[in-house]
Amino acid sequence: MSCTCTSAARLFLNSAHRGLSCSRIQLFSLSRHGSREAHLPPMVRVRSFSETAVCYASKDGTTKDGGSDGGKKSISEGKRLSGSGGSGKGGSQLRCPKCGDPCTHVETFVSSTRFVKCEKCHHFFVVLSETDSKKGLNKEPESAAEAVKLAFAQKPPPPPKKIYAYLDKYVVGQSYAKKVLAVAVYNHYKRIYNNIPAGSRQQVEVEKQASLTPRELEMRRREDEYRFTKLLQIAGISPHGNALGASMQQQASQQAPQERRGGDVLDSTHTDIKLEKSNIVLLGPTGSGKTLLAQTLAKCLDVPFAICDCTTLTQAGYVGEDIESVIAKLLQDANYSVEKAQQGIVFLDEVDKIGSVPGIHQLRDVGGEGVQQGLLKLLEGTIVNVPEKNSRKLRGETVQVDTTNILFVASGAFNGLDRIISRRKNEKYLGFGTPSNLGKGRRAAAAADLANTSGETDTVAEIEEKDRLLRHVEARDLIEFGMIPEFVGRLPVVVPLHSLDEETLVRILTEPRNAVVPQYQALFSMDKCELNVTPDALRAIARLALERKTGARGLRSIMEKLLLEPMFEVPHSDIMAVELNKDIVQGKSEPRYIRAPAKESAEEEYDSGIEEENWPRQADAANN
């Protein structure tokens, strides 16, 4: 008896010890299993026949034994053919895992079909390959308890002071807004942990105290299950207990723990506290750092974070992005894991642009009030149908996402809101004052703000007055601006951001990690040139940006205008350094260049001759 046959027979015997049916295999190698057991190849895996029965057939129609000559080769070949769909090469045939009868391939227009049908019980199956099994394993979403277990077991959530210190490295000023965001993120972590069902939380605590080996064992068990299970049933009971095509809602209802209802609630004495979220709205002038705070915060979080723009949102049924696209972006950031997306944070930018404009759209405000009405249930907590990955909304392939634990942070410039506050407080604003017959809405507020802004008024005094008024903002001011009362009520935390003064703008130019002046210095260093900006020039640039009233965004436009000529002259020249001072910023003089010491004429002619001779050689070498 050859060694190959002996090893193949022992493989089947080891499978028989696992509870497999091997009645047709000759058990003639039992007498010699004592000394040669160590020669078994350790990495060869045999699929469980009790889950998916495979019968190997020869070309002449008679079935072969697994222990015949070349049995090992037929095992691997049959496994490969059954995994890829079994096109008939080698005579492999699949058996129904339900009744045991052979399965026939369903005839389709494609030659390599993966669908088979049982001849006896008429059930349809799909044959999974190795790649499909791995994809299915990777796509399987983790439960909420597992996600929180990973977050809390690996490292605790960062305290608010640590988040505040991180934001300080990138954003200058706005200490009150940083504190609010840091506390909100920390409470978001705690709320996710608290709102897990009690049974799952106890399981998390037990696994947190123990090592991570149980999770590794669970992952290995899943891998083995996916590796050895090749047939999934389309109609009826599948090996995993669910039919293909079962809705997400049914699966969620099977996984969700049983809640107390009816008389059980009335009789129970102990009630668990469920923490609710506090959504935030950031108010502040343009260029004060609202969007930068969100972008910086997104880098340091362990939960999904999506930044969405409200200017493109429209009411359902109209051209433009639907309101569900907000959750779709969060789902995309969570790598299409619904459980992780339900614990994320959404940043709604430019939320003041969906304020209603009275008088223009009397019947239907598609991009304004209609969007606010659609966002109401989304902010409070509801189940949203989001289109699946790589699918369109019209086909009906949707994933259900619960927004109850998703934290929403809205931000907007709200131009003219200070005029509304001053009108409410009956204060005379700086300038000509406010006419009493002004209308309501965001456009009326912006028009009043523009009419009241004059060049004669001191810019610094005007900024201080605006900041003082914005500190007293209330919900009724936002309602008069054009937000509906239900929308304002779902954003309980109102955070005003202060305008940027001259000192803050000077710090923004140099201090943050990604400051403006170091960016231009890096650009010039690529051309082996230095950029030196004097402190007086920095103050002059900040004063110019303050007069433009565009906040920190005005700094870049001023720097681009100042450095246009140097960036044109420096490349491939002998300029070693460029200096900017106060007179250059004010336009009284040209930028000052420091050039390298001039070479002698003979050396220059010699260098240019070498360069001219080298160019044809390099071109010939490139062609050859």
Span 326-350, pLDDT tens digits: 999 999 999 999 988 999 999 999 9
Q: Which residues pair with 411 in a beta bridge?
A: 282
Q: Where does residue 59 rank: exposed (0-12), middle (13-18), buried (19+ CB within 10 A)?
A: exposed
Mean pLDDT is lowest, of 164-168, 227-231, 551-555, 558-562, for 227-231
Of all helices (H) and strands (E), which one includes residue 563? Answer: none
Q: How far is CA 88 from the centre of its chain?
A: 45
Structure tokens at 185: 């993120």
Q: How confident is the model at residue 12, as a pLDDT?
A: 55
Euclidean distance between CA atoms 135 and 279, whole angstroms: 37
DSSP 245-283: T--HHHHHHHHSPPPP-THHHHH-------PPP--EEEE
Highest mean pLDDT among 45-49, 270-274, 598-602: 270-274
Structure tokens at 415: 């131009």
pLDDT-derived band at 292 (thresholds 50, 70, 90) equals very high
Contact of 548 with 499, CB cutoff 8 Å = no
Contact of 454 with 430, CB cutoff 8 Å = no
Highest mean pLDDT among 183-187, 264-268, 429-433: 183-187
Contact of 521 with 530, CB cutoff 8 Å = yes
Closest-CA residue to 401 (of 42, 141, 171):
141
3-state SS assignment for residue 565: helix
3-state SS assignment for residue 334: coil
Tally Cβ neighbours within 10 Å of residue 302: 16
Q: How confident is the model at residue 192, as a pLDDT?
A: 87
Type of residue at 54: V
Structure tokens at 115: 């669908």
Euclidean distance between CA atoms 560 and 585, whole angstroms: 12
Q: Give yes or no for residue 562 having a pLDDT over 50.
A: yes
Give pLDDT tens digits for 240-268.
Answer: 444 333 334 444 444 445 566 777 777 77
Contact of 300 with 164, CB cutoff 8 Å = no
Tally Cβ neighbours within 10 Å of residue 428: 9
Type of residue at 602: A
Mean pLDDT of 31-36: 43
Q: Give the Å distances, CA to CA, from 51 to 147, 225, 238.
A: 31, 10, 11
Contact of 181 with 280, CB cutoff 8 Å = yes
Q: Give yes or no for residue 136 having a pLDDT over 60.
A: no
Contact of 379 with 408, CB cutoff 8 Å = yes
Closest-CA residue to 35 (of 67, 66, 10):
10
Q: Give the Å distances, CA to CA, from 499 to 139, 423, 468, 517.
A: 46, 21, 10, 21
Tally Cβ neighbours within 10 Å of residue 58: 12
Query: pTM surpassing 0.75?
Result: no
Mean pLDDT of 259-283: 82
Mean pLDDT of 80-87: 38
Of all helices (H) and strands (E), which one includes residue 595? Answer: strand 592-595
What HEC string does 181-216 produce?
Answer: HHHHHHHHHHHHHHCCCHHHHHHHHHHHHCCCHHHH
Mean pLDDT of 489-515: 94
Structure tokens at 286: 């343009």
Euclidean distance between CA atoms 66 and 68, whole angstroms: 6
Strands (E) in 291-355, as ranges, are: 305-309, 345-349
Number of H helices and E strands in the chain, helices first, is: 26, 16
Average model confidence (pLDDT) for the chain? 74
State the sign of the Cα–Cα–Cα–Cα dihedral 517, 519, 524, 528.
positive
Give pLDDT tens digits for 404-416.
Answer: 999 999 999 999 9
Tally Cβ neighbours within 10 Å of residue 337: 16
In sequence order, which residues have a C-beta less than 8 Å from that of residue 59 and are 6 or more positions away? Answer: 91
Contact of 392 with 336, CB cutoff 8 Å = no
Mean pLDDT of 372-394: 87
Contact of 467 with 498, CB cutoff 8 Å = yes
DSSP tag of 66: T
Q: How confident is the model at residue 107, as a pLDDT?
A: 64
Write phi, then psi, for 117 (nearest 5 degrees).
-130, 135
